[in-house]
Structure 1
Amino acid sequence: MLLLTCLVAVLLTSESRGQAVDKTLRIDCFPEPGSSQQGCISRGCIYDTNFDQSHPTVPLCYYPSGTGYSLSSSGLANPYILNKKSDSVKNPYGADISPISVYHSNIGATLNVKIGVQGRYEPPVQFPRNPSTSSDSLRFSVSDDGNLFSFQVKRASTGTNLWDTSIGGLLFADKYIQIATHLPTDAVYGFGEAIHQSIKHDFTQYTTWAMFARDEPPDSAGQDTKNLYGVHPFYVCLEQDGNAHGVLILNSNAQEITTGMGPHLIYRTIGGNVDLYFFPGPKPEDVINQYLALIGTPALPAYWALGFQLCRYGYHNLGEMQAAVTRTQQAGIPLDVAYADIDYMDRYKDFTTGSAWSGFPQYADQLHQAGMRIILIFDPAIQADYDSFQRGISSGARFIEWARQDQVPSAINGQYPYVQGTKIMLGVVWPDKHVGFPDFLETSGNTNKWWADEFTRYHSQMGFDGIWIDMNEPSNFGTNQDHPWYYDDDDHPNIPPLFCPLTGPDSVLEVPPYQTQAVYHYGNSQLSSNTLCMSAKMGGGNYNFYDAKCLYGWSEARATRQALSQATGKRGAIISRSTFPSSGRWAGHWLGDNTARWEDLKTSVIGAMEFNLFGIPYVGSDICGFISSPTMELCLRWQQMGAFHPFSRNHNTLGTPPQDPAMWPEVAAAAKKALLMRYNYLPYLYSLHFEASLNGHTVLRPLFFEFPQDSNTHTISFQFLWGSAFMITPVLDQGATTVRGYFPNDVWYSIYDYGYATVQSPGFASLQAPITSMIPVHVRGGYILPRQGPATTTVAARQNPFELLVAIKGQPGQAQGQMYWDDGDTIADNVASLSYYKWVFQYSETSTTAQITLQRTHTANGLSIPTLDIIEMFGYNYYPDYTSFTLDGKALSINTQTSSYSAFTKRLMISTANLINLSAVNSNTPSVLTWRHGTQLLD
């Protein structure tokens, strides 16, 4: 009888109402565990009893198509006022809020659509919100077809719908908000932080990705949709015609997206409003430029921060660190930065040095004298019983707190005199005793000032150059656990963990009606697992941790940028584990605690491209893997690939053998070769970072960014570009001696061991890549790349003469490029105000002559720069007349002993000491290097 009743209910719910929805366009009505037919019907939703084994992810319980809001007759203009439809399915996770409003506005070419209720929580992030520019525009329109409100965002030039919410499913309760949209294509990239097996999202099934900052190592051994350290609700979409647009959903609560087969997208969050930003492109790089106009351009790293970096967790003493650095140097491997993980601290307390590291300040001085730098790790949690914490309390710094005094656990807080009379929430991390978490969102400035003063104080004892901020999700050990893991660790005392109010009236934020896949993915878990209580207070008491937790790493990075500048008086570099939109304004990022597996090597290629989409171009993975031990071959291939990530650091964990590249002769040779090429092209890489910071661009980018019209590039996950012109094809498979690469329809010259200077045909190709050679690297015709003779430190390399690589394209041939140059270390809070040079280079030719035009478009004051001594040219189709060279009409003597031309490869090398004094190039009138062709080669 019960079964018959349920079946009748199903029929009444779906067929008689006429609201059955195609399997490719469903919005899950039971996205949490425990879905059942009876539970589905009790929500007023439709249950499909026909499970499709060929599409097992299709929701069986889904919302009727008419679910949503209707347009109020009193709100027919901007803002639009919406009322909950009386015949619509009710929100399963709380009372529907009605009315809500929809408001749209423009920030230049960027369209902002805001859905919600005024006065609700909004992330307290201060974006520049500069007006963007575009060759196209977006149009916003609404409809109320069949009494269901929806809106559309269209591209003005083509009429393409970028968003279309007529799919239905709009829900808005206090702790459950949902919006869904049709998508123009399934070519969607972004959303993070998560491990993606391919750069393009898979729309052949329904997949849900959680976004909630968590101390969680990546797992690349299969598709794992768990949320990692940061939150980036931003994506780029390619349309059918190759145009691109982007969307940011600005929200800092726990949230998730489901990609559906439609293709369609479902967004859920458990707080705040829906604050959407649409970026029209139409080129992919335009999208990022517009996104960065809103959130802010990335920080410019110090020049030395583009050098190779060496780290490990598990140095037992200073001597072990010194040994790793020494053997790297003795192998001739370029090295700029030595790191210390938490090992260097006195029992893991910030701003202290342990007894086994007593000579550390003197060693830092030695490294500085050798042209190297030091970066130290610092965690946000401060032990509650030593002088750094006491100074914070005395100076008025704030810490994350309990909401009320009666919630404070006296058995824990009563042990620490400095917290008496406060509501400070104490947790457990690496130190031996309980810790407090600085409240970097409070607005008095006392916390940030105290934080900067602590770094300044410690810098006077220990001369670090950069800062590595970790554990800032924030992470907390053993929350809500009777037997946390550290009870079984000999290196950590068994101090009681933090317990949050999971039941009773105070649990409303701890256990909301819907907790997102950031909880459900982990089984027996809560939002507070691995972190602090959701009911805690931040922002000096103005925000619930429930709302603002995902901003913790963002706010710490902002405070740490101020601290580094104050402590060192120089630019330096910061890397942060937890990030949020605009974190790149202050810090770079490493891709977390990966594992020494081939799968993790592959996904790190995708991760670095994604973080360039997110506005954090200074990014890289732990080379050779952090967890476990790599084989020689894996470490070798990772060193080769990692040499071309903007942030290039080898790092491994406690209890594993050393994996610095000099541990294996083969790895040392490969690392030396790859890093010397990196250092050779650092002026180009640095110029890309400078351009990104100054004008808002990517540094490392996917192939489809440059070739969006080529559908083959849309799924290329394992090749990448520096800027527009420098392509890397890494080897990512065990035992491989060749690698399959794709070359879009353009001119590509080899700049590695095989076929150097020769043209690679467009299309797919098998490329030679034994472990004794470089991985394949190619330069794109039509570009001029600045470079410099390499050395084993950037300090030494910066003294070498400049060079230009001119990759000629077309008949007659042409190429262009640019270079930025400054002292590399002056604080760059405003890059435009730096004292820097910028040169623009252009090559052109006729049937009889060739010329390179050099123009200085920006001038530095008092900055000594090397001369330009070498110009290497690919695709030069003539024997040169060495006697005909002139610079600005004056004859130049070319050193024919060091210059050469190959008719076979069409490679011209012009090499003469002091060939061109770049600092003397006039800023008003370009300098012109000209020469006559000799005999033309026959193709």
Structure 2
Amino acid sequence: MIPHVTNSDENLDETDAKFQFTSLKIPWYEHILLNRPLKVVLAMIISAVAIPLLIYNFYFFTTFDMPPDAYSVGTCLIPRENRIPCGIGNVPQEECHSQCCYDLSSHYCFHRVPSRFSYISAQPWHEDVRIYPRVSTVPYNFQDSLPNIKLSIDERSDTHIVLHIYDPTKRSFTGNRLDQKEYVYEVSTPEMGIVVNSTRGTIFNMARGPLIASQNIWETSFILTNESMYGLGEIPLRVNVTKVLYNNDKGVAGVPLIFARVEGRYHGLLIESDDPTEISVHGENRIVVRSITNLGFTFHLFVGPKPRDVMQDVMKIIGGSNKLEYWMLGAHVCNELPEEDLTSFLAKAAAESLPYESICGHGPLVFDSNQCRDNITNTDFEDGANLVRRSNKRFIPHISPYIRYHGELQNSNETENTTETEMQQDIEEENNDVNSTTCGILPNFKNIILRDSETLDIYKGVVDNEEVIYPNYEDASHYFMEDLWPFEVTPDGIILENNWPYDESEKVLNETGLPYFSKDFQLAFNKTPQWNLVHSTSNKSYLFEHQNYGNNFVNVFRELFNESMIWSSSQRMQGQIGINRQKIDISWTNLRKELVEAALGGISGHWFWSTPVCGDTEAFDIETHASLCVKWYMAETYFPMIKIHSKSNPRHPLAFTGTHKALILKALNDRISFLPHFYTILQKGPLLRPMFYQFPESEILQDLSTQFSVGDDLLIVPNLEPSQSHVHVWMPPGTWYEFWSGMKLTAAEGEVVTLTTTESDFLTLIRGGSVVAIQQDTRDSVEQTRWLSSFSIIIALESFNETFGANGSLYITDNMTLNFQANSQNFTITATGDDFDPICDWFGGTWAYDIRKIRVYGLEDEFNNFDNHREITSFVDICLLETRDEIVVDLTAN
């Protein structure tokens, strides 16, 4: 009832008026429904939640079907930068697998998180358990998933574990078990996932990403760290980077090893694959590995915790070369110059005292199909070797694996009525007839030449506008190698080049018929032989043999010349050979890149690494690139190996003039000066090193690629920009001095010191607490310098006191090392071992026996006789150690 006035009294005061009313109870929801502002707010909240969900479902999901099992559903709500392509990725919606997500705006097909493409098991994992696909088809052409796969875990050592995920019908593994180890692992069920933890945290986690196994395509993903990663030519390894493991002129040169950092500790992952493999880094540091394989994956995990621990474990797998001889550290020259013959170059080099150690003769060697033991067609080869040796230089030929084709081979139309088996029998009979009267590699050995998979015609590639054919060196007999190498000369070393192998012929690569073939694969396949070739006797697909082609080429020459050092442009998991980088264009960017490649290659186990000075492609102009080339020569001072390869335009030192030539010759002589120290470093570790390797505890230095360590005691900070006027030094721990002057850099660890620089500078620092032996009076070969030049000693003190100063060593032989200790008062020399002949045998010795100059950095100014150091000229006879325990030099004497 509505209250109302029962009588009317206009004179009644308003305050005296009495009203009667009844109290009403209003429900809580009517407060909302009857309150307009509150209704608006509530509607906005509901809209903000519901509308995105509806849009998300209609926009992203290709199906509303629930998963066909009781396992994870997965979500498509993933930031674009973190999406993993499901299959090819950029495809029309109808080509996107129903168990994937699809972005209608970018036309991108991607995996759910967690992915529905997994393998499942109803029982806990063990080595014999077979694991079955959750989804019957894969995103690649909707092929069938493999009906089952297996997982084997091999505990190789307390710091090394190997994961094999494989097809049990193609291969078999049996994992080892250890009682004591620095890692634990867990294999989850029913959806298989692998997590490996060290005592310091997680080092490998599949994180419920995809696991796909099908004909010619396997895929998986994992996370190593949420911090920085390094490897595959990158410092640091960046998101959205893709690398291909398929040997080619632009491919990964070293071991496919990734270092990962977690809270100041490092672990490593080595991807072992014989087959074409693509490695890409996505958001949140997720690594995706896709391989054109029918076998599976093999992943080596190394616990660390330091990068050098990872390197040592890797070298137990790939091995390491023990054939380093001193002369190998000298400069190696190869010229392909039509206007300059070998005789004139040797004469000019001798006249101008060019410091180099070897030359490849008249030029690189390419075999001819009509050569044999009884008919040497390439007489220039042996003539060149003789000229080189008469000049007291080493002969190191450059050799390619392909053979110039001269038309001896029969085509398929000549044998079209012959069955494949009959043809193979005929070929084998011809191969066994080693006494054939036909001179030449062919037709006697045509059975080992790669052939077209459909016609069985001999495959002919193109290199330098010439037709070439490709032997399968895995099946090469002793008789074949005798005809391939009919020469009497034995080289001092060999550089095997173009042995990816190289092929410039046009190819149809977009019709491979493979379920997955990306642009990165297309680039890798472009300059190698056609991927679908076959070996005529075994009918094996070349696609799955390509990765080992370079190794097979190395192996046949290793048998021919057991004592020769071999460098190769193509290898797979071979630490016993040197790395010969090729096809490098000259640019400031590539110079920096080659420094990074060499540093990462060294700490991955390839200590003997060379990259061509100033590049080695045709794109070189001495007028345009002179300043850059000078800087490249300076950088090569600190490379493990140094190679100068001139093509149509000369880039050897004698081609330059004036200041450029003087600076180049100084750089080569500086290198020879450092070689006693470099030779010592390379006995135990890599020469050029990234900062994260040398200073793993430093967070500030970890991602730097602008400065590098050289052994434990030197640091280089190159100025690698045109007309660069200064460099920034990020200070490592400890005390550091400029190497040649002794100027001390005063700054705390992690601080940045800016120093001026010029074209003639290449900043080199020495660590306080170290002693380095060099030879400054250089000759025109490293061996002459080692024998005839006195030593100079650089002492860099950590602090000015009598009890602690500096130490170092000089490796002579396995049974002789000189040890150096110094403080502000004395310099002491001792010897480990008793093999004094290399130093003290006047007629048969190889090392200098005396020290003539000592420089001391870090003294108080009052003790210096130069601006920043004290220099002492004193004759020290090292051979006194034959009869004494030590030699002591007083550093305070006038």
CA contact (8 A) 2:143 2:215 kept: yes
Residues 681 and 787 in structure 1, CA contact (< 8 A), matched pair in contact too: yes
Counterpart residue identity of residue 107, structure 1: R
- Quick check: 1:183 aligned with 2:224? yes
CA contact (8 A) 1:818 1:838 kept: no
What corresponds to 1:37 in structure 2?
93
Which of 339, 343, 363 is the equivalent residue of 2:360?
339
Which residue is equivalent to 1:856? Answer: 833
Are the counterparts in 1 of residues 88 and 516 from structure 2 also a CA contact under 8 Å? yes
Which residue does 2:556 correspond to in 1? 559
Partner residue in 1 for 2:854: 872
Q: 1:325 offset after TM fit, Å? A: 4.5
Equivalent residues in 2 for 1:472-491 (5 A)? Answer: 472-480=499-507
What amino acid maps onto 2:228 in structure 1? A
Aligned mates of 1:142, 1:63 — CA distance in 2 = 21
The answer for the alignment partner of 1:647 in structure 2 is 641
1:223 corresponding residue in structure 2: none
Deviations, residues 295-339 of structure 1 (Å, cap 9, x unaligned): 1113534322211222333x226x534444444454444122223
In the alignment, which residue of structure 1 is the partner of 2:182? 137
CA RMSD, Structure 1 to Structure 2 (Å): 4.2
Shift of 1:767: 2.8
Question: What amino acid is aligned across from residue 114 of structure 1 in structure 2?
Answer: H
Does 2:840 align with 1:818?
no
Q: Which residue of 1 aligns with 2:260?
A: 237
CA distance in 2, matches of 1:59, 1:232: 33
Cα distance 1:94–1:349, how it changes in 2: closer, same or farther (>3 A)? farther
- Tell me if structure 2 keeps the 8 A contact 1:333–1:671: no
Whether 2:762 is the aligned partner of 1:775: answer: yes
Query: 1: CA distance between counterparts of 2:446 and 2:812?
Result: 39
Cα deviation for residue 13 of structure 1 reads 7.0
Corresponding residue of 2:487: 458
Shift of 1:161: 0.8
Cα displacement (A) at 1:177? 0.8
Q: CA deviation at 1:93?
A: 5.5
Deviation at 1:786, TM superposition (A): 3.3
> 1:286 is matched with which residue?
309
- 2:819 is matched with 841
Q: CA deviation at 1:549?
A: 0.5
How far off its partner does 1:530 sit? 3.5
- 1:885 — aligned with what? none
Match runs of 1:486-525 below 5 Å = 510-520=512-522
Report the CA distance between 1:902 and its aligned residue. 2.9
1:242-321 → structure 2 map (5 Å cutoff): 242-271=264-293, 272-298=295-321, 300-313=323-336, 315-316=337-338, 319-321=340-342
Distance 2:680 2:244 in 1: 35
CA contact (8 A) 1:594 1:622 kept: yes
Aligned residues: 790
How far off is 1:277 after superposition?
Answer: 0.7
Structure with higher RCO (Cα < 8 A, 6+ apart): 1
* Letter of the 2:472 counterpart: D
Q: TM-score, normalised by structure 1?
A: 0.75
TM-fit CA distance, 1:19: 1.6
- Relative to structure 1, the CA distance from residue 212 to residue 349 in structure 2 (aligned partners, 3 Å threshold; closer, same or farther) is farther
Name the amino acid aligned to 1:560: F
* Conservation of the 8 A alpha-carbon contact between 1:46 and 1:64: no
Question: Does the 8 Å contact 2:119/2:191 carry over to 1?
Answer: yes
Q: Using the alignment, how far apart are the partners of 1:453 and 1:921 within structure 2? A: 56
Identity level (%): 16
SS at match of 2:595: helix
CA distance in 1, matches of 2:230, 2:191: 30
User: Is the alpha carbon distance of 1:528 and 1:930 closer, same or farther for their aligned partners in structure 2, counting shifts above 3 Å?
Assistant: closer
SS at match of 2:267: strand
The residue correspondences of 1:906-917 to structure 2 (distance < 5 A) are 906-909=869-872, 911-912=874-875, 914-917=877-880
2: distance between equivalents of 1:153 and 1:914?
Answer: 57
Corresponding residue number in structure 2 for 1:589 = 580
1:101 Cα deviation from its structure 2 partner: 1.2
C-alpha deviation, 1:289, in angstroms: 0.9
Letter in 2 for 1:142: V
Distance in 1, Cα, partners of 2:187 & 2:61? 34
1:685 aligned to 674, 678, 691, which one?
678
2:78 partner amino acid? D
1:672 match: secondary structure: helix
Q: CA 1:788 to 1:175, structure 2 compared with 1: closer, same or farther past 3 Å? A: same
Note closer, same or farther for the CA distance 1:120–1:870 as it changes in structure 2 (3 Å cut).
farther
Give the drift of 1:820. Answer: 2.8
Any idea what the Cα deviations from partners look like across 1:198-225, whole Å, max 9, x if unmatched? Answer: 521112xx332222222x4x5xxxxxxx
1:629 is aligned to 620
Gap change, CA 1:101 and 1:595, over 3 Å in 2: same
- Helix, strand or coil for the counterpart of 1:368? helix
CA contact (8 A) 2:771 2:795 kept: yes
Structure 2 length-normalised TM: 0.79
Q: Provide the rounded CA distance (Å) in 2 between the counterparts of 1:39 and 1:96.
A: 17
Q: Larger C-alpha radius of gyration, 1 or 2?
A: 2
2:796 paired residue number: 807
Structure 1: distance between partners of 2:754 and 2:371:
50
Q: Deviations over 1:158-212 (max 9, x none)?
A: 2x11111123211111311111112313421222xxxx5x521112xx3322222
Post-superposition offset of 1:860: 7.7
How far 1:718 sits from its partner (Å)? 2.8
Question: What displacement does 1:514 show?
Answer: 0.9
The amino acid that maps onto 1:439 is N
Contact 1:207 1:258 in 2 (8 A): yes
Letter in 2 for 1:588: I
What SS is found at the alignment partner of 1:718?
A: coil
In structure 2, C-alpha distance between the alignment counterparts of 1:756 and 1:360, rounded to whole Å: 49
One-letter identity of the residue aligned with 1:914: D
Task: Structure 1 unaligned segments of length 5 or more: list them.
Answer: 52-57, 124-128, 219-227, 414-424, 482-499, 504-509, 692-696, 823-835, 881-899
- Corresponding position of 1:537: 535
Partner of 1:149: 192
In 2, Cα distance between equivalents of 1:21 and 1:350: 66
1:331–1:662 Cα contact (<8 Å) kept: no
Residues in 2 aligned to 1:681 and 1:621: alpha-carbon distance in whole angstroms: 19
- Code of the residue aligned with 2:163 in structure 1: it is V
Work out the CA distance in 2 between the residues paired with 1:543 and 1:877: 69
Question: SS at the partner of 2:596?
Answer: helix
1:47 alignment partner, SS class? strand
Tell me the amino acid that sits aligned with residue 912 of structure 1: F
Q: Does residue 1:577 correspond to 2:569, yes or no?
A: yes
Q: Are residues 1:374 and 2:374 paired?
A: no
Aligned with residue 775 of structure 2, among 788, 794, 797: 788
SS for the counterpart of 2:185 is: strand
1:502-534 deviation line (CA, Å, top 9, x unaligned): 97xxxxxx4211124433558xxxx57641342
Q: Deviations over 1:269-300 (max 9, x none)?
A: 11122111111111111111110011111353
Amino acid at match of 2:763: P
2:238 to 202, 226, 230: 202
Does the CA-based 8 Å contact 2:798-2:858 persist in structure 1? no
Deviations 1:874-911 (A, max 9, x none): 3364899xxxxxxxxxxxxxxxxxxx963753434353
- Counterpart selection for 2:494 from 467, 470, 488: 467
Instruction: Flag the 1:856–1:536 CA change in 2: closer, same or farther, 3 A.
Output: same
| Cα distance between partner residues in 1 of 2:365 and 2:440 | 22
Match of 2:656 in 1: 663
Q: Supply the AA of the counterpart residue of 1:243.
A: R
Gaps of 5+ in 2: 1-54, 409-435
8 A Cα contact 2:369 2:405, kept in partner: no
For 2:212 and 2:176, the matched residues in 1 are separated by 31
Letter in 2 for 1:95: D
CA contact 1:345–1:352 (8 Å) conserved in 2: no
- Distance 1:353-1:61 versus aligned 2 partners, 3 A rule: farther
Q: Which residue of 1 aligns with 2:34?
A: none
Candidates 455, 475, 483, aligned match of 1:407: 455
- What is the rounded CA distance, in whole Å, between the counterparts of 1:747 and 1:612 in structure 2? 25
2:610 corresponds to which residue? 620
